[in-house]
Amino acid sequence: MAISGAHYGQVVFGCEVREDGTTDGHLTVAFDGEDFLSFDKKDLRWISAVPEAQTVRQKLDNDRDMNQVWKQKLENDCLNRMEEYYQYSKPTFQRQSRPDVSVSYRRDVGGRALLSCLVTGFYPRPIEVTWTRDGNTVHEVESSGVLPNHDHTFQTVKQMELETGSAGEQGFSCLVEHSSLQGVLEVPWDGKTGRTPAGSTSWILGLIIGALLVSGIVGILFWKRKRERKGPGTHQYNRPSSEESGQVSDDQPQEPGASEERRMEERS
């Protein structure tokens, strides 16, 4: 196989222990992101995924000693290494975090009435969340899938659309099954639709009130700072115009030196 230019190869080597105790190992090779070769440890041979891999496959099949080494690594070395790593991470893998479950009612932007079941904070990842009505499973549900949280736990949301006229009715429950629970956790909906309908402007009002409070506080601090800069008991006076400079009243403050200049004029 003649190739030119830049290319890249990938090798995936791994093993697994299934729940029933059986084990398996795999060794695959990819070329430019596409499957290229895989190793059959049982028959000690390579399997080509594309015609271009035939030449390489034949060369690898002829190296029986190396294929025996790959079999040994997959069936023994990989499993031993995995068991060693598992012991270091055992507290993490075996920890159990109970889920927090909450049920809520809302209307989306399209006006649909939705019941949502939020399940969060659980570990490990596998979980079952279902909606029921009068004990019967509701199959028409929407799921967010299982998503990670910032603290290495998981969350998921299951929501269902209420039929017209069903809002306020009883009998809806969210059922959660998880390894951290002793049994099935049932959280019923109390039939309350909440006080905040879709399109409510209460959040806008809150923002406006918050902005007014902040601007008022900033104004007070600015006024106080300006007053402190002037100092206590200081006032500003306007200097008299040129027409009034010759007259000084008793109740008008005089500039420094003004009285002395007046006395000198009288003497002259």
Identify which has the larger pLDDT, 176 or 193: 176
Q: What domains are there in the chain, each with its CATH number?
A: 9-94 (3.30.500.10), 100-188 (2.60.40.10)
**Does position 117 have pLDDT exceeding 70, yes or no?**
yes
pLDDT band at 203 (very low <50, low <70, confident <90, very high): very low
Count of H helices and E strands in the chain? 5, 13
Can you tell me the distance from the alpha carbon of 47 to that of 29, in angstroms, rounded to the nearest whole number? 10
Mean pLDDT of the chain: 78
pLDDT value for 249? 44
For the segment 162-187, the average pLDDT, to the nearest whole number, is: 84
As given in the structure block, the two tokens for residue 236 are: 């500003």
pTM of the model: 0.47
pLDDT value for 206? 47
> Which residue type, as a one-letter code, is found at position 143?
S
Q: Which residue spans within 163-247 are E strands per DSSP?
A: 172-177, 185-188
**Does position 111 have pLDDT exceeding 50, yes or no?**
yes
Identify which has the larger pLDDT, 89 or 121: 121
Can you tell me the distance from the alpha carbon of 115 to that of 259, in angstroms, rounded to the nearest whole number? 87
> Which residue type, as a one-letter code, is found at position 145?
G
**Does position 60 have pLDDT exceeding 90, yes or no?**
yes
As given in the structure block, the two tokens for residue 159 are: 């929501």
**13: β partners:** 27
How many CA atoms lie less than 13 Å away from 125 in the CB half-sphere?
7
Identify which has the larger pLDDT, 115 or 192: 115
Can you tell me the distance from the alpha carbon of 195 to that of 57, in angstroms, rounded to the nearest whole number? 69
pLDDT value for 106? 85
pLDDT tens digits, one per residue of 204-232: 344 455 555 656 665 666 666 666 665 55
For the segment 38-63, the average pLDDT, to the nearest whole number, is: 94
